[in-house]
Structure 1
Amino acid sequence: MTPNIVALLPEYILTIVGVLIMLAEPLLPSGASRKPLGWLAILGTLGAGYASWYQLHLGNITAFSNSIQVDSFSVFFHLLVAAIALVTLLISLDYFEGNASHSGEYFALIAFSAVGMMLMTCATELLVVFVGLEISSISTYIMCGFRKGSAAGSESSIKYFLLGSFATAFFLYGIALAFGATGSTSIAAIAQGLATTTTPRMAFLALAMILIGLGFKVSAAPFHVWTPDVYQGAPSPVVGFMSTAPKAAAFAVLLRITFSAFGPMQHRWAVLLWVLAALSMTVGNLGALLQRDVKRMLAYSSIAHAGYILVAFTALQADGIAAACFYTASYAAMQIGAFAVITQVTGYNEQIRTTDDYTGLGLRRPILAAFLALFLISLIGIPFTGGFFGKFYVFSAAIHANHVWLAVIGLLNSGVACFYYLRLLVALYSRPVTETAQPTEGRSLSVPAGVGLTLAAAATLMLGILPGHFLNLAQRASASTQSVPTPVAAAPVTTSQQ
């Protein structure tokens, strides 16, 4: 196979699967189950994951005039996005069954969204990043309003679309200014152009606008205002997906842009990200303290975790990239696991919303309560979970770079977070069942959903108990970002063996 095919093999697989689902869905009778389409999407996701693992053993692959680079860094995030999509599909197979006649489109949208995210993580050309960002975003906008009978769902979709379009404009303006300052939109060429540019202020303004656009995608304060409302109104499996996979892809892009493209300006943008990290951690945790709705609480929690990941951006390049990659994987496992439990507890209509509604869940649904307790413990950062080692590596990297006060702010915020996580944990086991609590016995745990929950729980524990292998992958990803290929006009694409 030519490099142009090998480099985007996972994306090709998911695109073909998504198109097949869209073609097959109208051919099925209106009352027929759409589960076969979901299983097709699952097979496609497994195929994309295997293709990404195959790429890992090929070395660095450059394609499409060096606008695409497949290396350990991009493969790390390819595997992460594929894993998130797989768990999302498993917990969604029975979610729409009998409730939405158009559920087949949902499985196609998951595949298309994953295509956009994977394209973002392997792009070394900002315009290609923009294309991937739009493919991912448009799919997510639609999925947020997938429950057509829910006014809150339609509201969340519209809010996400309008604010997302506004943030995308900032991202595009940043690309245009980067071209004006350096003469290119290639990440490698931007890094070279910064050394000779006569307009360094324009280059820094370009980075600031790019940060605004990507800050929206990762829910970093002060670009987080959409997050609580969208998370509350969107379907629970969609929230689990959009709070992890797009955030992972956006952080991958941000790592490439900051450390590779604008590396010579690190002394300037590190200060800006220091402020964003501290603000996100503080706003997220203080906002979560005031929430009784569980989905809104986890929305503010996701803002805080975006701040924890941003702490790694202030560290030295080798430490910071590896820590950010590891924490992103840890966060994805525990966050999507928590929303997988919420999906099973609340069902399609999502009548169970507040902390009080989860009262006594440990007695009525012990398996689901045990899974949720594990994910909450990991979100707190208790030892032997992925959340603990993620925070340990991030704060250690910050201290190594002499950002001691930022690490202190992060530790204090982690202490604050214990309160609202433990409040839900106490409701699961210690508080008596009240008459006002919503019943939770009506939805049984299906086999696919159980497999998805088990995968998320296993990843959370493995990242906490045996983190060595995952950390090695993160360190390999960190090393590969330091060697972005220099663009050469009309250069033939090549595949090089490591």
Structure 2
Amino acid sequence: MELVLPQIDWTPFAPLIPVAVGGLTTLVVDLFLPPGRKQFIALLSLIALAASILLAINSWGLVRYGVHDAVVLDRFSLFFYLVLGLVGILTILLSMGHLDAAAADQGEYYSLVLFSILGMMLMAAGGDLVVIFLGLETFSLALYILAGFWKTELRSNESALKYLLLGAFASGFFLYGIALVYGATGTTVLRQIVAVLADGHSPEPLFLVGGGLLLVGFGFKIASVPFHMWVPDVYEGAPTSVTAFMIAGTKAAAFAAFLRVFLLAVPALHIRWSAAIWVLAVLTMTVGNLVALVQSNIKRMLAYSSIAHAGYLLVALVAGGSSGVTGILFYLVAYALMNLGAFAVIIAVQGRDQERLLLTDYAGLGWQRPALAACMAVFMFSLAGIPPTAGFMGKLYIFSAALEGHYPGLAVIGVLNSVISVYFYLRVIVIMYMSEAASPPPLVPASAAAVLAVLVSVLGTLHLGLFPARLLDLARQSVSAITG
């Protein structure tokens, strides 16, 4: 009997292959490198991510479906490949100096970062609920390990354990939601689900319950209220570089899948659940900002800030339409740059066994490290939504989409929450420039990689605030690739 091998089109997987190969290569190379040469592994990781970005750019405009429509290559997934590639490069840059300072330059760290990015990319490319779940679990498993990477630190172990237990609980909801959707439609492929619903079949109660469970799973990953309780403890206990990666990459990947499932591929779910998402948006913005007001630890403050920003993104999700999705894509890029930049500054000003995590630790930083303090001020202004920064433009597009979608009340609540957030963001700037440290810590030279990460982030934050048109055009192209 003649053996017939299936024909596989590898084009949809092209940008993912360098990341997968890079993760495996760094894992093997780490076995043969002496302890002092681990920076070579970081360089290999940067090369893998750069190759993925180049392949994504080269694939722009292509539309391909692989493995029976389970993996999708289109401008929407390519946009997120570029965002996640940028997040990965900045994460590795700020990790290089951070791991050296902590005397924990294990090479497997970079492999875990690459595997986590691979899972995030799978979520963005998922045309099947099962593939989205596989992507979610791939990056989650890597992040569970990264959160506990400081094996000798009790708080890092606690962070990993909490993330693992609550993450597994949320994954159960997500998987059960997939099962119910399959039971109602007979398929987990998004294109086929759309076809089933388009045949005149009204969504069954089983389908709606399944959609609700999917909403719970996505809510955990984007850290929306009331699924946010893990965020402050996990972000505080994880290594600072891992916190930066989680705060930017996880949200981008989760919203990529969230948009494809709830808004772009299965609009019936968005219509049915828009009221629930409206409530989630209001609660998430309000709780995140109000609790951030009373934080004295900068990592916890930024953790609650990330919860509030998830609420802003949910505002655009409620609004829907091309404007809403475009606003989300733009804001995710701005959000990644300003948060990674802020954490890069935190890493740049700390030395070996000298973490500066309390807000009071930044007293007088404006005079001790004027350049880094100025960059931190830009990131705080951007997070607060003050022009001419990327954060201002992102919020402008999101709240404009809410008005365009006839949700003026939601837009007003969003603006009021943004005003509240100004207090705790500007407090950091006031402490840096208007307070004196009782005993200034010794100045520790910042690593060149961390400084480069700060520079790229601050230039990107200002560029998108002053010249947003190019990114907006890319975002619109990405949305039109699916919505038509």
Give me the TM-score of the superposition, normalised by structure 2.
0.96
Q: What residue is the counterpart of 2:268 in the other structure?
A: 264
Cα displacement string for residues 392-450 of structure 1 (whole angstroms, at most 9, x for unaligned residues): 00000001111001000000000100000011110111112224xx61512x1222222
Aligned partners of 1:43 and 1:445: how far apart in 2? 23
The verdict on how the C-alpha distance between 1:471 and 1:199 changes in structure 2, with shifts beyond 3 A counting, is: closer
Q: Which residue among 230, 252, 258 is the counterpart of 1:248?
A: 252
Deviation at 1:329, TM superposition (A): 0.9
> Which one of the candidate residues 13, 20, 43 is aligned to 1:8?
13
Match of 1:396 in 2: 400
| d(CA) in 2 for partners of 1:359, 1:475 | 42
Q: Distance in 2 between matches of 1:297 and 1:368?
A: 19
- Relative CO higher for 1 or 2, CA cutoff 8 Å, sep ≥ 6? 1
- Name the structure 2 match of 1:283: 287
CA contact 1:121–1:253 (8 Å) conserved in 2: yes
The 1-side partners of 2:241 and 2:300 are apart by 15
Which position in structure 2 is the counterpart of 1:188?
A: 191
CA apart distance, 1:348: 5.3
Q: Which stretch has the larger CA shift, 224-233 or 267-276?
A: 267-276
The letter of the residue matching 1:441 is L
Letter in 1 for 2:327: A
Tell me the percent identity.
Answer: 40
- Look up the SS of the partner of 2:97 in the other structure: coil
Aligned to 2:441: 439
- Distance (whole Å) between structure 2 residues aligned to residue 439 and residue 429 of structure 1: 16
Deviation string for 1:234-267 (max 9, x for gaps)?
1111111110111101001000111133312433
Contact 2:315 2:399 in 1 (8 A): yes
- Partner residue, 1:150: 153
Deviations 1:43-65 (A, max 9, x none): 111111111111114x2122111
Q: How many residues matched?
A: 477
| Secondary structure class of the residue paired with 1:69 | strand
Q: Which residue of 1 aligns with 2:130?
A: 127
Point out where structure 1 has 5 or more consecutive residues left out of the alignment: 484-498
Corresponding position: 1:18 with 2:23: yes
**Cα RMSD between the aligned structures?**
1.5
| Of 422, 432, 447, the match for 1:418 | 422
Shift of 1:365: 1.1
* Residue equivalent to 2:338: 334
Distance in 2, matches of 1:199 and 1:48, equals 39
Q: Is the 8 A contact 1:288 1:420 kept in 2?
A: yes
> SS where residue 483 of structure 2 aligns?
coil
**Where does the alignment leave 5 or more consecutive residues of structure 2 unmatched?**
1-6
The answer to whether the 8 A contact 2:344-2:451 is kept is: no
**Aligned residue number for residue 496 of structure 1:** none
Structure 1 counterpart of 2:75: 72
**CA drift at 1:453:** 1.3
Choose the corresponding residue for 1:39, options 33, 40, 43: 43
Q: What's 2:100 paired with?
A: 97
What SS class does the counterpart of residue 32 from structure 1 fall into?
helix
**Contact kept? 1:177, 1:202, Cα under 8 Å:** yes
Is the aligned partner of 1:200 residue 2:201? no
Shift of 1:173: 0.7
Q: By how many angstroms is 1:102 displaced?
A: 5.4
**2:332 corresponds to 1:363:** no
1:49 paired residue among 34, 48, 53: 53
Q: Deviations over 1:59-110 (max 9, x none)?
A: 2122111111111111110000000000111111122126445520001111
Secondary structure of the residue aligned to 1:62 is strand
- Secondary structure, in 3 states, of the residue corresponding to 1:314? helix
**Relative to structure 1, is the Cα distance of residues 71 and 3 closer, same or farther in structure 2, using a 3 angstrom cutoff?**
farther
Query: Structure 2: how far apart are the matches of 1:340 and 1:116?
Result: 24
Alignment deviations for residues 103-138 of structure 1 (CA, whole Å, 9 cap, x no partner): 200011111111111111011101011111111111
Q: Distance in 2 between matches of 1:380 and 1:270?
A: 26
Contact 2:91 2:245 in 1 (8 A): yes
Q: CA deviation at 1:378?
A: 0.3
| AA matched with 2:267 | G
Distance 2:21 2:475 in 1: 30
| Letter matched to residue 446 of structure 2 | L
Contact 2:203 2:268 in 1 (8 A): no
